[in-house]
Amino acid sequence: MLPSHGRYDYHPWPERPCYAWPGGAKLAVYLAINLEHFTPGSGLGTEPGPGGPQPEMLNHAWRDYGNRVGAWRLIELLEPLRLPATVLLNSALYDHAPSLVAAHRARGDEIAAHGRTNSERQSGMDEATERAMIAEVTAAITNAEGVRPAGWLSPWAAESPNTPDLLAEAGYSYTLNWCADDQPIWLRTRTGRLLAVPYPQEVNDVPAIAIRRDGAEQFAAMIVADFEERLRQIQDGTPQVMGIALHPYLVGQPYRLRALRGALEHIVARQDLVWFTTAGQIAAHVANMPDGMVC
């Protein structure tokens, strides 16, 4: 047999229990807005063109556009649509762009942890270093928001073998690192369970736009197609989670924002069939469900 991570068991989709989200909805939709800060010259970010020798300020400045401009335009887009968001926050943003975090706080958006900075990957950290980093990020968010973050997405969704264990030990209730399902699933850790809430690697502007080079209209059409197909699939009674992952330095560009607006207006028009929510509210709902309903 191949080695296994041992975090979860295989449960085929047709054999899942049927349950509902609040209001009887079968489809939960959440927006994940990634607010990220990079060390100049780190070279770990997506690039608008071929990378050059460091320091590569073109790439750093392109990504910082999201914090200075794109994220504010995205907030303006969400307001009339009354869409909540889960903000995946590099804790470095408290120093770099505190008013941006405050604007999301004022909206009532969920603030979830996204490491210190996307200039580092926790997959290369030893256990003590990773534990200290998680504690530092948790304390920064708790001190600023007055409440502990419930969820965690690692920078680059990169994990060490210890990450789920350390997150559970630090008091996190859910992770977005595991994209193995269309429903939340329970992960085993050495101190108990940790919920994996689905986080998209397809309906995600980084792989779509920065890696596959999809156009703005193509990404918007992807959101609509994913949404409409899920509405068809949930007719069998099996609930799903649809996440939409957004990075303001990409979708905050005016022409992409225009296409995104059309896609979000399309899905909001079907709100009678959908629970528009946050990743944290999904996790809280699952935590109150009877054992065995979620695998």
Is the pLDDT confidence value at 269 over 70?
yes
Residue 212, Cβ density class (10 Å: 0-12 exposed, 13-18 middle, ≥19 buried): exposed
CA distance 180 to 182: 7
Per-residue DSSP letter, 89? E
What pLDDT is attached to residue 282? 98
Is the pLDDT confidence value at 45 over 90?
no
What pLDDT is attached to residue 48? 66
Give per-residue pLDDT as tens, 69-98. 999 999 999 999 999 999 999 999 999 999
Q: Where are the domains of the chain?
A: 15-42+54-287
Which CATH architecture is the domain 15-42+54-287 placed in? Alpha-Beta Barrel (3.20)
Give per-residue pLDDT as tens, 198-254. 999 999 999 999 889 999 999 999 999 999 999 999 999 999 999 999 999 999 999
Chain mean pLDDT for the chain: 94
Tell me the two tokens of residue 137.
Answer: 């990020």
Tell me the two tokens of residue 2.
Answer: 């191949």
Contacts of 112 (CB under 8 A, 6+ apart): 86, 87, 88, 89, 149, 150, 151, 152, 153, 176, 279, 280
Please name which of 176, 100, 177, 175 lies closest in space to residue 144, comparing C-alpha atoms.
100
* Amino acid at site 116: R
CA distance 225 to 266: 11
Is the pLDDT confidence value at 192 over 90?
yes
H/E segment holding residue 57: helix 57-65
What pLDDT is attached to residue 54? 57
What pLDDT is attached to residue 257? 98
Give per-residue pLDDT as tens, 143-153. 999 999 999 99
H/E segment holding residue 67: none
SS (HEC) of 185-201? EEEEECCEEEEECCCCC
At residue 45, φ and ψ (nearest 5 deg) are -90, 165
Give per-residue pLDDT as tens, 113-133. 999 999 899 999 999 999 999
Per-residue confidence band for 41, with pLDDT thresholds at 50, 70 and 90: confident
Predicted TM-score of the model (pTM) = 0.95
What pLDDT is attached to residue 188? 98
Mean pLDDT to the nearest integer, 164-183: 98
